[in-house]
Chains A and B, each alone.
Chain A
Amino acid sequence: MPTIQFRLNGAATAVDAGPDQTLLDVLRSRLGATGAHFGCGANECGSCYVMVGDRAMASCDMPLWSVADKDVVTVEGLGTAEQPHPLQRAFISEQAMQCGYCVSGILVSAAALLKRNPAPTEAEVREALDRNLCRCGSHNRVVRAVLRAATEMAES
């Protein structure tokens, strides 16, 4: 079994993995990073999104080998309670969820958006989140939270 090396949330990481093993499975079952969630296994819902480089991508159907030597950031890598990412603060301020299962994937998509577009319009936020499904109907709160975080980041 080949060893795949990549950086997870900034830390050098090496995992022995078969060719079919997905990044999501490795994150959750081998590396204890359960923030990315399984939703569909087919890159259709966004629950499992992680950042690879600067892009938010589904990890559920991504073979581990495809992230060799790349930077992977999960929701755990965005921030902590002690040092939260502005998005995490904004999601709390806006109470931007109901069940919250989809939120870790949404936070990753939003973080990737703000990296490439620090001052998005509301329509741009919505478009950036269109591949993240939310069943509880918290969409508008989420959009408000992302815009709030963008404002905060611009001011700091």
Chain B
Amino acid sequence: MPSSAPKLPVSLAANPKLSSWVKFTDGDRVAISPGKVEIGQGIVTALAQIAADELDVDISRIEMIRASTAMSPNEGVTSGSLSIQQSGRALRHACAEVRQRFLRVASERLDVDVSLLDVDDGTISGPGNVRISYWELAGDVSLDHDATAETRAKSIAKRVVAGQSVQRVDIPDKVFARPRFIHDLTLPGLLHGRVLRPQISGAKLIALDEEAARAVPGLVAIVRDGGFSGVVADSEAAADAALKALRKGATWSAGEPLPDEDDLAGFLRSQPVETSMIDTRMAARARKPAQTLRRQYTRPYIAHASIAPSCAMAQWDGERVHVWTHSQGVYLLRADLAIVLKLPPENIVVEHMEGAGCYGHNAADDVALDAALLARAADRRPLRVQWSRHDEMSHAPFGAAMAIEIEADLDADNEIVGWRHAIWSNGHAARPGRAAQPALLAATEIANPYPRMISTNPPAANGGGGDRNSVPLYDFPAWTITSHRLLTMPVRTSALRTLGGQGNVFAIESLLDEIAALRGEDPIAFRLRHLRDERARDVIRAAARRAGWKPQKRAGIGQGVGFARYKNTGAYCAAIAEIEGADDIRVRRLTLAVDVGEAINPDGVTNQIEGGAIQATSWVLKERVRFDRSRITSTSWTDYPILTFSEVPAVDVEIIQRPEIEPVGAGEAAHGPVTAAIANAVYDYLGVRVRDLPITRDRIIAAMELAS
């Protein structure tokens, strides 16, 4: 029996002390301390809005504290579009309770019943012009209490900040070049480190002649620990020069072979796997299919390719170390650092600082361990390590390649009567802090190395991994969904935006489009006919209306539609793509409709959807990690091109506001629908189905040759 008693939001249940979230400071300021971190998504502004609303203070009084293991609530990892759900709900509840605690004390002090008190920008007032502020009362109101489940947040009608497009709090610093990124922070006596990494995949350092590096002016130390080696120098230029000299003195073992980049499906489908039944639905009355369509879809390995290389700082003090990082999870990183450094966690402080945009598990955690290892040779001085572009593009984890096969059983009217969806892919998560074994790169290189963690998949309750979004939202009568997770991992993979969602939505929505075409039915009407969820139907109808969707073919352009509800539990998103072009396909316009429930910051949601749509367009048209049989070869922007300003489509976003529904995140909602919409528009335009991403000119030509 489900309990009807009120429950604390999960993050607050895990970190119930109110003072860990909210503090009144400096006479007129409020410090809000979430466990989630800013990774370019604007989360700290949305959280500040929630706090401002519940506390009734002006948002300009709020200072958002960067997460640190020294003091912040532990909210795990900032990922999965969950920050608004987790941190937002916790803060809303905590701030509501803080406000009520202050009102109770103010009531006694002012001798006015709580129900007659009002709060305006932190000043509590009542009839007869009596007033007292949060800051005047702060000494008498202890927040060192656990939150209670009974607290009720404000009614929707009384929210004035949440739901508004408030300007982001971090943007002025970035426009005026005030240091905010970890790359820009300077500490007194800062030293610089670089790590020597192999160019051949899986090669190990077996011998090192340090003589040339020792002669580089500015060198402070050369560090060697088994196969891990790096330099410490008094300037970045000296560190770069010393690393270059050190590389010349390195002898490497043979590496481990990489798969054939032109036969990813063949590789993925030939490896040892762990097979999981994800979901199955039996038809009430089995119908014999008239035909079965069997289609295979692939997506390549995709690089995070943040504009900044990963960076971290570390400073030792005896057996204690302070680490500055742009990791998505300061506590999880600390857990892995504790294993590798053989220290109790309390000897390590991990503090967040902003890096460049983060789209999943990149090298942020790896470089933090690099910094901690090299800083041991820095004699208590702080040290910064910054990866090279080459290492960022070859040693950071990639989003996993996928092969997806769907068999659709159709009856004589080409209606779907059966559906079998099978996925072959590496796992989509090998994050730190979740296992007895560390997930950090240098841990596999040091003396007595740890084995490389083979990626796994998050459980279905967390949205799954390779299987994310593989269970149809459509009411097909029967289905079987199977996931095959590879037990080998020659190319390192971990979490990238949407995990398996992009690949699975691409596959499902492409095949639906094909079946609708087979039936001669408008693909939008076909989808609506198979969807009962009104929110799903609403986003599809809204996108179609906004895009001026016409069931008939239009001259000179191709149009396609894609839809998904992210993780089947998150944001609803429908996308319509319009493409044009002659030799090369150009996406001219993307029209999206999205439903995240309550949109805390509508412009922030729009920004995330626009960004997701453009990034997905880049993935679809251009991106593919390249390798030969011994090394990753796409190690520069020339070899790993992304969409440029001239290639970016117009993006038009409609938000369906539902303030009565708990908010969910928007950062990953667009990728799957946009991918499918572009692929379906290519079919509408050219009459060929491209089932292997990216959809390049060569792939289109190959598909046309196959069709003719």
Bound-state Cα–Cα, A73 to B510, Å: 50
* Interface pair B389/A139, CB less than 8 Å apart: no
Minimum CB distance partner of A99 in chain B: B40
* Interface pair B636/A44, CB less than 8 Å apart: yes
Give the segment of B68-76, B418-426, B484-492, B610-618 that binds chain A.
B610-618
B contact residues around A99 at 8 Å (CB): 39-40, 306-307, 354-358
Interface residues of B in 153-171 (CB under 8 A from A): 167-168, 170-171
Minimum CB distance partner of A131 in chain B: B644
Bound-state Cα–Cα, A115 to B388, Å: 33
* Interface pair A138/B607, CB less than 8 Å apart: yes
- Whether, in the assembled complex, A97 has its beta carbon less than 8 Å from a beta carbon of chain B, the answer is yes
* Interface pair A92/B177, CB less than 8 Å apart: no
* Interface pair A34/B39, CB less than 8 Å apart: no
* Interface pair B650/A140, CB less than 8 Å apart: yes
* Interface pair A139/B645, CB less than 8 Å apart: yes
Minimum CB distance partner of B192 in chain A: A29
Answer whether A100 and B645 are a contact pair too, CB < 8 Å, given A40-B637, A136-B611, A140-B650: no
Answer whether A101 and B357 are a contact pair too, CB < 8 Å, given A44-B638, A81-B176: yes
- Whether, in the assembled complex, A5 has its beta carbon less than 8 Å from a beta carbon of chain B, the answer is no
Interface residues of A in 49-83 (CB under 8 A from B): 74-76, 79-81
Contact with A along B350-377 (1 / 0, CB 8 A): 0000111111000000000000000000
- Whether, in the assembled complex, B436 has its beta carbon less than 8 Å from a beta carbon of chain A, the answer is no
Minimum CB distance partner of B235 in chain A: A29
Minimum CB distance partner of B670 in chain A: A137
B contact residues around A136 at 8 Å (CB): 40, 357, 611, 615
- Whether, in the assembled complex, B266 has its beta carbon less than 8 Å from a beta carbon of chain A, the answer is no
- Whether, in the assembled complex, A91 has its beta carbon less than 8 Å from a beta carbon of chain B, the answer is yes
- Whether, in the assembled complex, B600 has its beta carbon less than 8 Å from a beta carbon of chain A, the answer is no
Interface residues of A in 83-119 (CB under 8 A from B): 84, 88, 91-92, 95, 97-104, 107
* Interface pair B309/A38, CB less than 8 Å apart: yes
Contact with A along B27-40 (1 / 0, CB 8 A): 00000000000011
Partner of B645, one of A20, A40, A91, A143: A143
* Interface pair B171/A92, CB less than 8 Å apart: yes
Bound-state Cα–Cα, A74 to B184, Å: 15
Bound-state Cα–Cα, A133 to B176, Å: 19
* Interface pair A21/B237, CB less than 8 Å apart: yes
Contact with B along A131-154 (1 / 0, CB 8 A): 011111111111100000000000
Answer whether A98 and B42 are a contact pair too, CB < 8 Å, given A21-B237, A34-B177: yes
* Interface pair A130/B645, CB less than 8 Å apart: yes
B contact residues around A135 at 8 Å (CB): 305-307, 356-357, 359, 615, 642
* Interface pair B308/A20, CB less than 8 Å apart: no
B contact residues around A91 at 8 Å (CB): 171, 175
- Whether, in the assembled complex, B646 has its beta carbon less than 8 Å from a beta carbon of chain A, the answer is yes
Bound-state Cα–Cα, A20 to B240, Å: 12
Partner of B389, one of A33, A41, A102: A41
State the majority secondary structure of interface residues on A.
loop
Bound-state Cα–Cα, A97 to B636, Å: 23
Bound-state Cα–Cα, A133 to B356, Å: 12
* Interface pair B650/A98, CB less than 8 Å apart: no
* Interface pair B645/A95, CB less than 8 Å apart: no
B contact residues around A23 at 8 Å (CB): none
* Interface pair B171/A97, CB less than 8 Å apart: yes
Minimum CB distance partner of A88 in chain B: B175
Interface residues of B in 291-340 (CB under 8 A from A): 305-309
B contact residues around A97 at 8 Å (CB): 171, 174
* Interface pair B41/A103, CB less than 8 Å apart: no
* Interface pair B389/A39, CB less than 8 Å apart: yes
A contact residues around B389 at 8 Å (CB): 39-42, 44
* Interface pair B168/A95, CB less than 8 Å apart: yes
Bound-state Cα–Cα, A133 to B640, Å: 12
- Number of A-B residue pairs, CB cutoff 8 Å, is 165
Contact with A along B60-88 (1 / 0, CB 8 A): 00000000000000000000000000000
* Interface pair A95/B167, CB less than 8 Å apart: yes
- Whether, in the assembled complex, B183 has its beta carbon less than 8 Å from a beta carbon of chain A, the answer is yes
B contact residues around A20 at 8 Å (CB): 237
Identify which of A44, A100, A123 gathers the most chain B CB atoms within 10 Å of its CB: A100
- Whether, in the assembled complex, B526 has its beta carbon less than 8 Å from a beta carbon of chain A, the answer is no
Answer whether A137 and B614 are a contact pair too, CB < 8 Å, given A34-B184, A100-B170, A101-B307: yes
* Interface pair A98/B40, CB less than 8 Å apart: yes
B contact residues around A16 at 8 Å (CB): none
Minimum CB distance partner of A30 in chain B: B235
Contact with A along B583-610 (1 / 0, CB 8 A): 0000000000000000000010001101
B contact residues around A80 at 8 Å (CB): 176
* Interface pair B42/A84, CB less than 8 Å apart: no
- Whether, in the assembled complex, B189 has its beta carbon less than 8 Å from a beta carbon of chain A, the answer is no
Minimum distance in angstroms from A105 CB to a CB of chain B? 9
Answer whether A38 and B237 are a contact pair too, CB < 8 Å, given A130-B646, A136-B611: no
Minimum distance in angstroms from B588 CB to a CB of chain A? 13
Partner of B607, one of A95, A132, A143: A95
* Interface pair B183/A129, CB less than 8 Å apart: no
Answer whether A38 and B386 are a contact pair too, CB < 8 Å, given A44-B638, A95-B171, A129-B645: yes
- Whether, in the assembled complex, B236 has its beta carbon less than 8 Å from a beta carbon of chain A, the answer is yes
Contact with B along A16-40 (1 / 0, CB 8 A): 0000111001001100111101111
- Whether, in the assembled complex, B627 has its beta carbon less than 8 Å from a beta carbon of chain A, the answer is no
Contact with A along B608-649 (1 / 0, CB 8 A): 101111110010000000000000000011100011111010
- Whether, in the assembled complex, A4 has its beta carbon less than 8 Å from a beta carbon of chain B, the answer is no
Minimum CB distance partner of B190 in chain A: A29
* Interface pair A141/B235, CB less than 8 Å apart: no
Partner of B603, one of A47, A84, A95, A101: A95
Bound-state Cα–Cα, A42 to B359, Å: 23
Minimum distance in angstroms from A44 CB to a CB of chain B? 4
Partner of A126, one of B184, B306, B357, B646: B646
- Whether, in the assembled complex, B128 has its beta carbon less than 8 Å from a beta carbon of chain A, the answer is no
Bound-state Cα–Cα, A39 to B648, Å: 21
* Interface pair A137/B603, CB less than 8 Å apart: no
Minimum distance in angstroms from A30 CB to a CB of chain B? 9
* Interface pair B646/A127, CB less than 8 Å apart: yes
Bound-state Cα–Cα, A137 to B671, Å: 12
- Whether, in the assembled complex, A15 has its beta carbon less than 8 Å from a beta carbon of chain B, the answer is no
Minimum distance in angstroms from A27 CB to a CB of chain B? 11
12 A–B contacts from the bound complex (CB under 8 Å): A34-B184, A37-B184, A44-B637, A45-B307, A47-B308, A81-B176, A97-B174, A99-B40, A100-B180, A103-B174, A123-B646, A134-B307
- Extra inter-chain contacts (15) besides given A135-B359, A140-B650, CB under 8 Å: A39-B307, A39-B389, A41-B388, A81-B172, A95-B607, A98-B41, A98-B607, A101-B355, A123-B646, A127-B646, A134-B645, A136-B611, A140-B614, A140-B648, A141-B607
Which 5 pairs between the two chains have the least Cβ-Cβ distance? Answer: A99-B40, A35-B177, A137-B614, A137-B611, A100-B174
Measuring CB to CB, which residues of chain B are less than 8 angstroms from any residue of chain A?
A: 39-42, 167-168, 170-172, 174-177, 179-181, 183-184, 186, 235-237, 305-309, 354-359, 386, 388-389, 603, 607-608, 610-615, 618, 636-638, 642-646, 648, 650-651
